[in-house]
Structure 1
Amino acid sequence: MSKALLEDLQWRGLIAQSTDAKELETALSKPISLYVGFDPTAPSLHLGNLVVLLVLRRFQLAGHRPIPLVGGATGLVGDPSGKNEERTLNDEKVVTDWVAKIKRQLEKVIDFSDKKTGAIMANNLDWTKPVSALEFLRDIGKHFSVNQMLAKDSVANRLSTVGISYTEFSYQVLQAFDYLELYRRHQCLLQIGGSDQWGNIVAGLDLIRKVEAGSAHALTVPLLAKADGSKFGKTASGAIWLDDSMTTAYEFFQFWLNSDDADMPKLLKVFSMKERSEIERLIQTVQTNPGAREAHRELARELTTLIHGADTATKVEEAAKALFGQGEISSLDLATLDSALSQLPKTVIKKGQDFPSWVDLLAATGVVDSKSAARRIVKEGGAYLNNKKVESEDFTPAKSDLLHGKYLLLRKGKRDLAAVEIVG
């Protein structure tokens, strides 16, 4: 089982570095506890976090006990990895609120109920806060060489640019302390993290060896990038979050549906829990029938169901079809419509104000650069209101055309959408 798990992770491109491969395979031959840490630097996890969280899920499905750790303590300090400036320190109450929100997201991906492999939720504030500064320096700090700490990539990079505060310099000591405590409390033998965390994880292994004369393991996951080299999980509007108040379920679904064909093999291997044979079949469809977008749709369904639930996934897929004339737009409920239209170019009309013509409305959304261009679209037969063709340049919507008394959907041709919202 351990060999099959590691081989599967390797095939999926999910191993960047690890401690001795043979020893790790031997350790995994029987159930162990392992952990991944998530710092509450925002009210939600994002797609980069989901990569390692799904690796934790794969270990759980293979019979191991996961420990998702939310950094109530380290989140107050800030990790210098990947940052070229000091983080803004957040208020403790804010961090506590974010910890609670992130815990709820973890529960969607990891099973906490199984008697044998049920996850253990951890918060490093539980063991960090009771320790005094003097105790921490004497019992933990004395085991760290400043020379070695300075050599860590995250620290060296900052020292060569803007510098680093003692607060963020201490981060690797706090993370190492976490591994030591989980080793003591839950016999945790493996820490997983992004490849930028290798130095911090190895510091934990050293601390376990020095304090407990014990041994444990490390495994890091490559940081995901798109085929064009750009950062994965970023769009023009910002990061893709798991919280639907920050990234709507519709936008989340559309992110996967609209992913570049060149990225799909990697995305399927990293994010899908499907069997290898099915993933290989879906990858083949991208090459043989790219227009059908079967792989994109399957991945969008799977991940939207995981993060937002099956009902929501069905609704947003129906909304995606309805917006482009493949379903009945008036059948969508208001919450789904709000989500689906939130990212479209939009113009606003005050309640009670007379509606301008379709031509004026489209020009106001910015989808076209002039009213004459909008008139041309009508003449060419590419103008739609709520998926019904607009036949006249003078056509003006009526109150009865409003969806839920709030929206009008404008479409130019097959793909270009815009919305009109009634406010006040």
Structure 2
Amino acid sequence: MNQNLIKTFQERGYFNQCTDLDNLAKLLNNKKIKLYIGFDCTAPSLHVGSLVQIMCLRLFQNFGHTPIVLLGGGTTMVGDPSGKEESRKILTSVEIKKNTSGIKKVFNKFLNNKGNNKFIFLNNEKWLTKINYINFLRDYGKHFTINKMLTFDSVKLRLDREQSLSFLEFNYMILQAYDFLELNKKNECVLQIGGSDQWGNIVNGIELIRRVNGKESYGLTTPLITTSSGAKMGKTEKGAVWLDEKQTSPYEYWQFWRNVNDADVFKYLRLFTELPINKIAEFENDKSRNINDFKIILANEATKILHGEKASSNAEATSKKTFEDKSFGDDLPKIEIKKSEFHKGISFNELIIKINFAKSNGEFRRNISNKGYRINNEIVLDEKKIVTQDDFKGEKIIKISFGKKQHVLIEAI
């Protein structure tokens, strides 16, 4: 069964590099293991950019292994230089704890917290904040050479571009290696998974474990996922697509998947759903169906995993009402505004910026000149328009649209 795990991992597009694939495959074939992925707590939640790693943990758990979610309460205080062009903003302890709480909620949706292989939450703040600096340097610093550390991409690329790299950030790879050692000693964790930019950090951890404990451990990396146009996956006009319904509603999440580029649909079906590989291959070879049919399948399956089947069905129904029936879907984002404001009148410009359909007056004017805005499906051409109670035409709600894909309901209360 576990031989199929490596095969499945590769077929679904998760595989980039492994420190010792043959021996890892033998290990997985003979026993259940513990593995981990680390997530620094730099934001109140995680977004779609972290979804490949989360799906990897979910896949390993489905095959009977125990995932460890390591929250970086300690490493977030330092900042990972990997893939960064400048130093990360230093957060306070209060901000980090608040972010940690929000991130934990994400994993309760994706991973199973019951049974023999229920996932484990750990926070490296527990051991990193108790390090005695002199002892740490004597015990572990001696295992790292500056010569080798300078060859890792996380450091080399910053230096090649002549961008500053603080000593604080330079320490990050040592702390991450120590994390793997700690998990290996205390939790018998033998595998670390991370993005391709984490390769150097993972290799450091494996070497540290070998030198300190004399044990073998493994590293597995996933590729950087980009769209067919080469853009970073998970960004929209409105910003990041969050895995938290308070920041990205189930409807907006569904719409994100529904609106992916045609060329990305089947790749994303493999990465972000649990449909069987052979079923996705059938879809790919079926030339009789419209690509939009498969986009809807992708949206339904991806939304179902995060928000549940009911939310997925509601989002699809809302989309159908909004785009096909030209009516209001129940799942559309809604903003409440007091009736008294509409009696006085609100400038359309102000309303558009309030609902984040433009970031400035200039952007608003450009969009309106391109016929980008609608009220209840009617194009607005007057940039000086005042929205009043008359626009509601006796109803409590109006729909403001930006282009074909973004809609917000305004309710007068």
Tell me if both proteins adopt one fold, taking TM over 0.5 as the criterion: yes
Aligned to 1:56: 57
Task: Note the C-alpha offset of 1:309.
Answer: 2.8
Q: Does structure 2 conserve the Cα–Cα contact (< 8 Å) formed by 1:355 and 1:398? A: no
Q: Does structure 2 conserve the Cα–Cα contact (< 8 Å) formed by 1:283 and 1:295? A: no
Aligned to 1:127: 127
Aligned to 2:87: 86
Structure 1 residues 33, 320: closer, same or farther in 2, change over 3 A?
Answer: same
Q: Distance in 1 between matches of 2:209 and 2:405?
A: 58
Aligned to 2:5: 5
1:109-148 deviation per Cα after TM superposition (whole angstroms, max 9, x unaligned): 1112112x11111111111112222222222222111111
Corresponding letter in the other structure for 2:155: V
Structure 1 residues 9, 420: closer, same or farther in 2, change over 3 A?
Answer: closer
Corresponding letter in the other structure for 1:295: F
Q: Does structure 2 conserve the Cα–Cα contact (< 8 Å) formed by 1:32 and 1:189? A: yes
| Max Rg structure | 1
TM-score, normalization by structure 2 = 0.85
Aligned ranges for residues 181-192 of structure 1 at < 5 Å?
A: 181-192=182-193
Aligned to 1:318: 317
Q: Does 1:351 align with 2:352?
A: no
Aligned to 1:76: 77
Consecutive unaligned residues in structure 1, runs of 5 or more: 343-347, 375-382, 388-395
Corresponding letter in the other structure for 2:341: K
Q: Which moved more, 1:239-248 or 1:45-54?
A: 239-248
Q: Which moved more, 1:319-328 or 1:219-228?
A: 319-328
Q: Which moved more, 1:261-270 or 1:197-206?
A: 261-270
Aligned to 1:409: 399
Aligned to 2:369: 369
Q: Does structure 2 conserve the Cα–Cα contact (< 8 Å) formed by 1:242 and 1:307? A: yes
Q: Does structure 2 conserve the Cα–Cα contact (< 8 Å) formed by 1:351 and 1:422? A: no
Structure 1 residues 418, 195: closer, same or farther in 2, change over 3 A?
Answer: closer
Q: Does 1:193 align with 2:186?
A: no
| SS state at 1:41 partner | coil
Aligned to 1:393: none
TM-score, normalization by structure 1 = 0.83
Aligned to 1:300: 299
Structure 1 residues 384, 103: closer, same or farther in 2, change over 3 A?
Answer: closer
Q: Distance in 2 between matches of 1:306 and 1:266?
A: 17
Q: Does 1:421 align with 2:404?
A: no
Task: Note the C-alpha offset of 1:400.
Answer: 5.1
Aligned to 1:136: 136
Aligned to 1:96: 97
Q: Does structure 2 conserve the Cα–Cα contact (< 8 Å) formed by 1:18 and 1:219? A: yes
| SS state at 2:212 partner | helix
Task: Note the C-alpha offset of 1:276.
Answer: 1.2
| SS state at 1:78 partner | coil
Aligned to 2:166: 165
Q: Distance in 2 between matches of 1:312 and 1:74?
A: 35
Aligned ranges for residues 17-36 of structure 1 at < 5 Å?
A: 17-29=17-29, 30-36=31-37
Structure 1 residues 259, 417: closer, same or farther in 2, change over 3 A?
Answer: closer
Q: Does structure 1 conserve the Cα–Cα contact (< 8 Å) formed by 2:333 and 2:409? A: no
Structure 1 residues 178, 386: closer, same or farther in 2, change over 3 A?
Answer: same
Corresponding letter in the other structure for 1:172: M
Structure 1 residues 349, 268: closer, same or farther in 2, change over 3 A?
Answer: farther
Q: Does structure 2 conserve the Cα–Cα contact (< 8 Å) formed by 1:172 and 1:200? A: yes
Q: Distance in 2 between matches of 1:419 and 1:315?
A: 16
Task: Note the C-alpha offset of 1:290.
Answer: 2.3
Structure 1 residues 419, 145: closer, same or farther in 2, change over 3 A?
Answer: closer
Q: Does structure 1 conserve the Cα–Cα contact (< 8 Å) formed by 2:249 and 2:333? A: no
| SS state at 1:111 partner | coil
Q: Distance in 2 between matches of 1:279 and 1:256?
A: 16
Q: Distance in 1 between matches of 2:92 and 2:205?
A: 27
Give % identity.
36
Q: Does structure 2 conserve the Cα–Cα contact (< 8 Å) formed by 1:282 and 1:295? A: yes
| SS state at 1:352 partner | helix
Structure 1 residues 323, 20: closer, same or farther in 2, change over 3 A?
Answer: same
Structure 1 residues 22, 349: closer, same or farther in 2, change over 3 A?
Answer: farther
Task: Note the C-alpha offset of 1:369.
Answer: 2.6
Structure 1 residues 385, 24: closer, same or farther in 2, change over 3 A?
Answer: same
Task: Note the C-alpha offset of 1:251.
Answer: 1.6
Aligned ranges for residues 183-262 of structure 1 at < 5 Å?
A: 183-262=184-263
Q: Distance in 1 between matches of 2:150 and 2:229?
A: 33
Q: Distance in 1 between matches of 2:314 and 2:306?
A: 14
Task: Note the C-alpha offset of 1:409.
Answer: 2.3
1:222-281 deviation per Cα after TM superposition (whole angstroms, max 9, x unaligned): 010111111111122222111223222222111100111101121111111111122212
Consecutive unaligned residues in structure 2, runs of 5 or more: 353-360, 379-388
Q: Distance in 2 between matches of 1:355 and 1:209?
A: 67
Q: Which moved more, 1:124-133 or 1:98-107?
A: 124-133
| Paired positions, count | 385
